[in-house]
Amino acid sequence: MKYRNDHETAVSPVVGVMLMLSVTVLIAAIVSTYAGGFTGGAEKSPQSSVKANPNLLQHRIYFEHNGGDPFMLSSVQVVLREHDNKTALSLIDAKSSRVQNFTEVGIEALNSDTTIQAGDTFYIESVDWKAGEVWMKFGNLDLSPDQKITWLLVDKGTGKTISTGSFYL
């Protein structure tokens, strides 16, 4: 009978433990690389401070950019809500049955490349109104005095809110 030395018998368990450890590390690296790919491509939506000021006599709602990220008018949507009634408006709706104007103050023509940044103001203008009357219509939403209107400025690309607020007419 041949006997082994103690140092020869200890090699096999050490090699086995090292192999299991390296396989575990390899699997963890593959899983973390795969899972990390899900979050890398998320788009960031702009975050801005915007204030809305309705003007019933001009049949417009002005939106003043007070700070934060700039955004393009073509990439945003204004959502107006009064109780359960709401309407969503964008530059595409300008000169339609939903909104008359969706443009920056001081700009003569509608321009899809218009960038709104801090200090700029844009407005939406009612499609349906009568001279001397103080009400506005945006899409299916009628606005008249003494209503509380909640508004959201939404990034169309991500669907995330850029700014939100409310006002009373």
pLDDT tens digit sequence for 141-158: 888 888 899 999 999 989
Query: For residues 124 and 122, what is the distance between their CA atoms, to the nearest angstrom?
Result: 7
Reply yes or no on whether the pLDDT at 5 is more than 80: no
Architecture of domain 48-168: Sandwich (2.60)
pLDDT attached to residue 30: 85
Query: For residues 57 and 145, what is the distance between their CA atoms, to the nearest angstrom?
Result: 11
Mean pLDDT of 37-48: 72
Reply yes or no on whether the pLDDT at 133 is more than 80: no
> What does the DSSP 8-state code read for residue 10?
T
- Nearest-5° Cα angle at 132, 54 to 56: 5
Domain ranges of the chain: 48-168
Residue given tokens 């001397």 in the structure block: 132
Its pTM stands at 0.70
> CB of 105 within 8 A of CB of 122?
yes
Residue given tokens 């169309």 in the structure block: 156
pLDDT attached to residue 90: 87
